[in-house]
Structures are given as C-alpha cells and as structure tokens.
Amino acid sequence: MRNLGKIVLVLLLLKVALNASIRASVDATSVELGEMVTYSLHLRESANRPVIQTLCGVNVISTSSQSSIEMVNGKISRNNTFSYKFIPQKDCVIEPMEIEVDGMVHKSNAVEIKVTQGVANADADFILSLESSTKEVYVGEPFEVTLLFKQKLGAEAVDSKFEAPVLKGFWIKNESQPQKTQEGAYVVTKIIYKMAAQRAGELNISKAQMSVASRSHTRDSWGSWVPKIKWRSYYSNELNIDVKPLPKGVGLVGSFSIVATVDKNEINANEALNLTLEVAGDGNLEDIKSFKPYIDGVNVFDEKISIEANKLTQKMAFVAQNDFTIQPFTLKYFDPKTKETKTITTDKIEIKVKNSKPKEELVVKKELDEQTLVQRDEKVSSIWTLLIFVLGVFLGLLIGIVKPWKNLKKQKSLSLKDERGLLVKLLPYKDDEEVKKIIEIIEQNIYTDKKIEIDKKLLREIVKKYISKAP
C-alpha cells in the first residue's frame, strides 16, 4: 500500500509537470544571413509572457502571443505560444528559458541555429554596398565613403530600417542628402559621407545593414492564405582603410591657399582697421588655430574662426596710434599628393596712421674741434663742482626739515577708474592669464563702444601684486 501511494504521487507530479512543460522551437534551424527567424515558447498552462530583448546577440524585432483551447478525452486545456522575431548574424545556441508557472520554475529546451553567409546575388531585389574614394589616407585627411542602396523596380518594401556601419577611429565631417537615380532595372539611392581618420593603423568600416519588410502569405490552420509582413536584412561589404601618420611637427593635411585683406591701408589714430583672413582648400580646416598676432603698441581683437564648406574665415580688428606693420600669416601643412610638407604665407601689410603721436627725434650735434671741446669740458667741470657743493648743502637742509621718510607710505595710489593708466601699468605683466583678461576688458572699454564691468576684487589683487596697494 505504501508503494502504491508513492506511485500515485509520482504520477500526479508527472502529470502536473507535463501540463506545465515548456517547449522551445524555431521556424527554421538553418538560414542565410539576413533572413528572419521566429523563436517560439509553447506552454500548456497560463503564464506571463517572458520579457526577451535579445536573442543570439541581436535585438528582438517584434513579439507576439497566441492562445488556444483544446479538449482531449473530455478535458479542456489551454495552450499558449509566445513568439519572438529576430535576424541572427552568426551560428548560435539559444539557451533554455526559465518560466515560473504556479510557483514552480520550468525550463525549456535549448535551440541551435545555423547561419550561412550565402552568395551575393547581383539580381537580388535589394542590394546594399559601400565604396571608398581611397584605400590609403593620412591622419586627418578627408576622404569619401559612398553608400549605395539598390531596389529593383517592382520590388515592394512596406517598411525599412537602416543601421549605419561601426566607425571606430573615424569621424564624419558631413553627410550629403540622399540622391535617387534610376540605373537599369534598379532605383539607386546614394549617400556620400565625408570622413577623416582619427588615428594611424589598419582601420575597418564594418558592414552597413538595411532591414526591409515585404508582404508575404502563409496558410492558417483552416488552409486559407493569410497575408503577413516578413523582414529580411541586407548587408553591405566591409571597407579596410590603411591610415598613415603625418610627419613629425605637422598637424594639417591637404591642399590650402591663404590670403589676408584689409578694408583700408590708412587710418586715423585709435581708429579700428578691419582684416579678413581666409584659408581655402580640401583638408582638416577644423584643426587650424587662431591666427591672432602680437604687435607691439597695437591692440588686436579677433573673432572666432568660422568654417563653411571648404573655406575658413577669421576676422580681426587692429587699433593703434602710430604706423605699424602686419607681418605675414603662415600656414604649414602636409600635401598627401606630393608627399611634401609645405608652408604658405600672406603678404606683409603696411598700415599708415594719420594724426599719429610724434616720436622723439634724435638730435645729432656737429663735431666740435678739439680745442673747443677741451675749453668746454674745463668750464663745465668748474660749474658742476660748484653746483654739486651748493646742491649738497641745500639737500641736507631740506631733508632735515621735510623728513621725507615719514611720507614713504603716503605714495600716491593708482585710481582703479583710470583705465588708460591701468592699461599702461599692467601691459608689462600680460603673461599672467588674469592680467591678460583685465587688459582685454580695458582695451575693449577704451577702443570700442563696449562698457564691460571689471571684477574690482580681482583688479585690486592684481594692482596690489604688481603695482602698489590699491585704495
């Protein structure tokens, strides 16, 4: 009797296990690269649909569920099927899934999928490819990659999803608008990417992917044709680019020209002179730094560099009180066509300043004869001896009366409102970043219409540090 009871218990547990068993299946165990696979979990008991986001290392495209009721020997049972659509890219094994049913965890069987690369069909409904303008570039050198998507006339596409290739070590400078043309039996969509390599070495541009949804039909359980949507992915070729390093000390690559123009060659004192600097050519313009020069006695204000298409522009303003010269601007780069490092420059520009502050003239006296010089030296020597004696007596009396050491701490302080005075005093210390910021603000307040508030606390600290104690 005891053994009979155990047998009955085992049979009951086995029945529950069978009723709650999980079976995993796929609609195809061997597919070509790009074909969609439907993975299904079949349950004989009610359960919540498992959340599965990836299968075989790729994202699940869509999910669905279906339930049915069947009667066997007068007993009603419910069957549930949870389906997941995905496009595997390599051979894989889907490990067993675990689902909790009535407090018990049940595990499905594993499913193996084989993926073959297939043969590229030149007459396929959809064709995706990548083309490069070159296979060898230098770091920073622009080159073009063209993406071509061909769709055969009459081939229907309900929907499509594009996945760009992985671009490790590259960056996209710009991207063209899609261009559609008809070539024979195909409608061709072309997109051109202008790219540049960020580092040297053998770099790879991975396959691009286009998933296309098309209409298909299948038979239902009653034998009727039912329309459905079927997804298939199409892959492009890969590209391997050999990226070479630039010569030491050179950061620009391409072919350039440079020119500097001014709005006038003659200005009034303290009047702004406007200069426009343009660099044109095919290369990594975005790596060019500011051309702002230093000219002694001239205030220079520069605008931020702007780049449009293949032209770089930088504008500057010069303010001075005397004539000055703008030395040539220089650009050094590597030309990948000639394999040479080149240096180009602008012309030197001379600027005339009207009403300029006159410079002190150097007076050269005529050479005197030897006798006159001797007589003059003797006379001057006697006069200086007398003057020194009298001045010594006078200074002694004056020092005793005035006692100037008491007034050493009462030196006249520099007013923080005197911007011109501050500018003169601070210019020798412009190498200090904080002093440089104050000088730039003062220059704009003096020579432009701007009135920028100066950080007085910082200004006092700078004056105290380099000049004297500020009030």
Segments making up each domain of the chain, as ranges: 19-116, 126-244, 254-354, 419-466
How far is it between the farthest Cα atoms of the chain? 155
CB 56 within 8 A of CB 92: yes
Q: Which residues of the chain have pLDDT under 70?
A: 1-20, 46, 70-77, 118-122, 216-227, 357-382, 393, 396-414, 468-471
Q: CB-based contacts of 469: which residues, under 8 Å, 6+ apart?
A: 413, 463
29-41 b/e (C-beta count within 10 Å ≥ 16 → b) = eebebbbbbebbb
Give the pLDDT confidence score for residue 118 in this predicted structure: 64
pLDDT at 18: 41
Q: What is the CATH number of domain 254-354?
A: 2.60.40
According to CATH, what is the number of the domain 19-116? 2.60.40.740
Q: Do the two domains 19-116 and 126-244 of this chain adopt the same fold?
A: yes
**For 140, phi and psi rounded to 5 degrees?**
85, -10
Q: Please give, one letter per residue, the 3-state secondary structure of the chain.
A: CHHHHHHHHHHHHHHHHHHCCEEEEECCCEEECCECEEEEEEECCCCCCCCCCEECCEECCEEEEEEEEEEECCEEEEEEEEEEEECCCCCEEECCCEEEECCEEEECCCEEEEEECCCCCCCCCEEEEEEECCCEEECCCEEEEEEEEEEECCCCCCEEEEECCCCCCEEEEEECCCEEEEECCEEEEEEEEEEEECCCEEEEECCCEEEEEEEEEEECCCCCEEEEEEEEEEECCCEEEEEECCCCCCCCEEEEEEEEEECCCEEECCCCEEEEEEEEEEECHHHCCCCCCCCCCEEEEECCCEEECCEEEEEEEEEECCCEEECCCEEEEEECCCCEEEEEECCCEEEEEECCCCCCCCCCCCCCCHHHHHHHHHHHHHHHHHHHHHHHHHHHHHHHHHCHHHHHHHCCCCCCCCHHHHHHHHHHHCCCHHHHHHHHHHHHHHHCCCCCCCCHHHHHHHHHHHCCCCC
pLDDT digits (tens, 9 = 90+) for 281-335: 999 999 999 999 999 999 999 999 999 988 999 999 999 999 999 999 999 999 9
Residue type, position 88, single letter: P
pLDDT reported for residue 350? 96
Can you tell me the distance from the alpha carbon of 351 to that of 40, in angstroms, rounded to the nearest whole number?
A: 82
Give the per-residue pLDDT at 134.
92
State residue 409's pLDDT score: 44
Q: How far is CA 97 from the centre of its chain?
A: 43
What pLDDT score was predicted for residue 211? 86
Which pLDDT score is estimated for 416? 73
Distance CA 424, CA 444 (A): 15
Question: pLDDT digits over 343-357, tens only?
Answer: 999 999 999 999 876
Characterize 129-165 residue by residue with b for buried, 16 or more Cβ atoms within 10 angstroms of its Cβ, and e for exposed. Answer: ebebeeeebbbbbbbebebbbbbeeeeeeeeeeeeeb
- d(CA 130, CA 167) in angstroms, rounded, equals 13
The pTM is what? 0.57
The CATH topology of domain 126-244 is Immunoglobulin-like (2.60.40)
pLDDT of residue 387: 74
Task: Give the whole-angstrom CA distance, residue 402 versus residue 417.
Answer: 32
Residue 381: per-residue pLDDT: 63
Rounded CA-CA distance 35/56 in Å is 14
CA distance 414 to 418: 8
